A and B are shown apart, each in its own frame.
Chain A
């Protein structure tokens, strides 16, 4: 059986084909909108961000390079950057970082193959995150997900800039090491 891969769907979106565009939006809208909501915190603004993310994916489909990452990480990076830009001026207080990681993987509907693979990746990622010390995990969520600079992380956590930088760097390196070693173990 052959199913339309994420890459092929993005290809179709890039050509402006309505069927491909529709399938692409249906496949990814919950993730894109969910991320936008997490960062922006308000449905109306999150919808604007999510819509713009899909439009950029359509316009820049040709710039997607499968060697550099999956379609979903590419799309979520676009979404994240748009969402961060949209709250740059008057940022609301971020939610409790640990609450953001309340993954609800079990409740999803039957998943396509690609998303099943993705869920494995996400599971490995969240397992690696769970093994980090809480303060490093919070620093990564604040910076990597919500877009705070090290200085802003320091202010929010009430710690010196140098400490904030160390938490971000150490957390990121540990995450990387955990994901690479699991890849090798397979």
Chain B
């Protein structure tokens, strides 16, 4: 077991990710048990992780984006989730219900950089976390009242009908609707007047009443 002094000596290298093998394992074991050293490593890591931001930008070779997208698309069914469509639907619903103008902007495209519109409305996103901490999908909710909600799940949920439950920041529970999952995929968009102060949690409950996944939005 390393002493605190030895760990303080190694902490900067641990924080910068350059500590190898045995030293790294021993230092991590100490840090697990020692509050002071953990806090030191945490602070050094916070600073160290910013250093790569200082690197110059550079234009990748032509075709880079296509090659990455081919690799991503090749690993999973394409086009089933239409994630951006869910976000867009959520944003559109937010615009309708709150009279705020909401726009989904892909900032990477010049032609989307039209004039700014107001007032502001925000759409929050959070992962839907299932058993064992697995990420099974995503939930989106706009601020304001009513709130627009979008949910997409794209992983391992068994097929069937799921009840969508929402809990407001003040703890009130409301049933938003039902979502069908087919083939491990499901999408739902809608609105709720449940909350004055925003939605805190959105969860899916299966036919047996078990909560299978939830997203924490605040």
Residues of chain A touching chain B, judged by Cβ–Cβ distance below 8 Å, are 1-5, 7-8, 11-23, 25-27, 29-31, 33-35, 37-39, 43, 47, 50-51, 54-55, 58-59, 61-63, 69, 72-73, 76-77, 79-81, 84, 100-104, 108, 110, 112, 114, 118, 121-122, 125-126, 129, 140-141, 143-145, 147-150, 165, 168-169, 172-173, 175-176, 179
Contacts and interface: CB of A to CB of B under 8 A. Distances in A.
Q: Which residue of A35, A72, A101, A144 has the most chain B CB atoms within 10 A of its CB atom?
A: A144
Contacts of B137: 15
Interface in B115-151: 116-118, 120-123, 125, 127, 129, 134-135, 137-138, 140, 142
Q: Which residue of A19, A80, A140 has the most chain B CB atoms within 10 A of its CB atom?
A: A19
Contact of B78 (A18, A63, A114): A18
Interface string B12-25: 11011111100000
A176 B108 CA distance: 32
Nearest to B104: A4
Q: Which residue of B83, B101, B106 has the most chain A CB atoms within 10 A of its CB atom?
A: B83
Given A2-B121, A179-B50, A25 B68 contact: yes
Nearest to A145: B51
A103 B57 CA distance: 9
B48 interface: yes
What band does the interface of chain B fall in when counting residues whose beta carbon is under 8 Å from A?
35 or more
Contacts of A58: 72, 75
Contacts of B55: 31, 34-35, 38-39, 76, 100, 145
Given A50-B64, A169-B11, A33 B58 contact: yes
Given A16-B78, A16-B154, A176-B43, A25 B65 contact: yes
A176 B125 contact: no
B56 interface: yes
Contact of B15 (A61, A114, A126, A172): A172
B28 to A, nearest CB: 16
A44 B208 CA distance: 53
Contacts of A55: 68, 71-72
Given A149-B20, A150-B13, A168-B16, A140 B118 contact: no
Contacts of B106: 4, 19, 23
Contact of A147 (B18, B78, B121, B125): B18
23 contacts: A1-B101, A2-B91, A2-B102, A3-B104, A11-B83, A11-B138, A12-B138, A15-B81, A15-B154, A21-B68, A21-B73, A29-B64, A33-B59, A33-B60, A76-B53, A110-B113, A122-B54, A143-B12, A143-B13, A147-B18, A149-B13, A165-B13, A176-B47
Interface in B78-94: 78-79, 81-84, 87, 91, 94
Given A14-B135, A15-B154, A168 B12 contact: yes
A3 B107 contact: yes
Nearest to B142: A2
A72 to B, nearest CB: 7
B67 interface: yes
B26 interface: no
